Amino acid sequence: MKDNMKIPKTPEAWLQEIAKAYRDALETMQFGKLTENKIEEREFFHLAPSLCLKFRGIKTTEDNLKMATESALSSFVATKDTVSDFFEIPQMAFAFCYLASHFGLDLVDKSTLSEAMGYIESRLGYLIKITTLD
């Protein structure tokens, strides 16, 4: 795990960062209207790898994006059947892929990922509240 990045240190810090990244993704919805490509919240988990790179200040090279994306999407597919109800909630699918992207880039270990996901599951109502458009 690389220690030169300002990785959140607590599950609450992860929740707050994920909420911020999710709100960043919400801003993309307006650009979809401009290009006549409707972007829906249920598809935000696809944006998690690129937002992981953005929030970590990692250069968006083809290799970096590929590592983050492969980790996020392969983990998502492997886990979807066992937690399908959770992944129907856009914020939860996004949070999972955001954290999995960090794992794929070797920025967090499995215990950090597991602890953060458990905390986010327990505070899912709060995450939804702070990421919902008014």
Q: Where are the alpha helices (DSSP H) in the chain?
A: 11-26, 28-34, 48-56, 62-80, 84-87, 90-104, 110-122, 124-131
According to the model, what pLDDT value does residue 58 have? 95
What does each C-alpha distance from 10 to 17, 20, 104, 113 come to in angstroms? 11, 15, 19, 11
Q: What is the pLDDT of residues 35-72, one digit of tens each?
A: 666 778 888 999 999 999 999 999 999 999 999 999 99
Least confident of 6-10, 81-85, 88-92, 128-132: 81-85
Q: What is the pLDDT of residues 83-124, one digit of tens each?
A: 768 889 999 999 999 999 999 999 999 999 999 999 999 999
The domain locations on the chain are 11-131
Mapped onto helix, strand or coil, the DSSP state of residue 61 is: coil
